Structures are given as structure tokens and as C-alpha cells.
Amino acid sequence: MFHRVSDSCRNAARAAGVVAAGAALMVGVTGGTANAATGWTAQYTSADVVGAHAWGTIEEGERYILNVNIKDTKSDSHGARVRVRTTYTDGGVREENLSASGLNVVRSTTWNYAANAYKFEVKECLTEAGVDYQCGGWSTFYQS
């Protein structure tokens, strides 16, 4: 009797696992309208400054998801900062920034934006005592 119950439990567990796997696959196939993330970098653009490196990804869906990284690439008295400027179809503008200080220190964050954002710009800066010391120019890395 113990073996029959045990076999019955195993069969039920297998069936539940198959159903759960199928449900997970269905969610993966049908869930959300997000596109694949697109990589971006400020390197070799007008935004680039020696001593800072900014890069990340942007994903367009019901909202924009922006992953941002900044790395301090030079051993000096300056920190590194990335500035992101986003323009919306209604004329609004949003600016964000992220800083790192110390040779090879990397900081990362994720910001999300409303679907009516249409232009994303970036620039790298060096900082001194927490304020911008030198910056590159604005460079558009994504525009819908």
C-alpha cells in the first residue's frame, strides 16, 4: 500500500510539474510587450571624457527601462559622473545623474520612464568635490 501511495504522489507531482512548466512557458511567450534591450555607450561620442566611462541598456515597452553604469577610469583627484537627459512628447524634460569616485569604481542603477519619452541623451563628466569639473557634450543614444 505504501508503494501505491508513493507512486501516486510521484505521478501527481510530475503532472503538476508539467502543468507549471507549461504555464511558465505561456507567460514567457505572451507576457508583456517589451522589446529586447538595446545597448548604448558614451565612448567615442561627443559625450566622452577621459577618466569616465558610461554605458548601459534601454528597453522599450509599456515604460522605458534604462540601465546605467558609470566607471571612474583614471587615478586622479576627479570622480566620474554620467548625466542623462530625457525629453517627452509633451515638452517635459527629466535629468538624472549617477557618480562614482576612485579608480575602477563602478556604480549602476536603473531608472524607468513613461512611454511618451522619445529622446535620451547622455554626457560624461569629471567631478571635483562633488560638482561637475569638466563635461563632454550631449549625445543622443536613443530616439523613437
User: 51-81 in b/e burial notation, b at 16+ Cβ within 10 A?
Assistant: bbbbbbbbbbeeebbbbbbbbbbbeeebbbb
Each residue's pLDDT tens digit, 15-28: 444 444 443 333 33
Does 121 share its domain with 60?
yes
- In this prediction, residue 27 carries a pLDDT of 34
- Residue 139 sits in a domain whose CATH number is 2.60.40
Q: Could you tell me the pTM of the whole model?
A: 0.75
Say whether both 49 and 71 belong to one domain.
Answer: yes
46 and 83 belong to one structural domain:
yes
**62 and 119 share a domain?**
yes
Domains in the chain, number: 2
Are residues 76 and 138 located together in one domain of the fold?
A: yes
Tell me, yes or no, whether 59 and 79 share the same domain.
Answer: yes
* In contact, 60 and 33? CB cutoff 8 Å: no
Kindly report, residue by residue over 78-95, the tens digit of the pLDDT: 999 999 999 999 999 999
Range of the domain at 3: 1-31
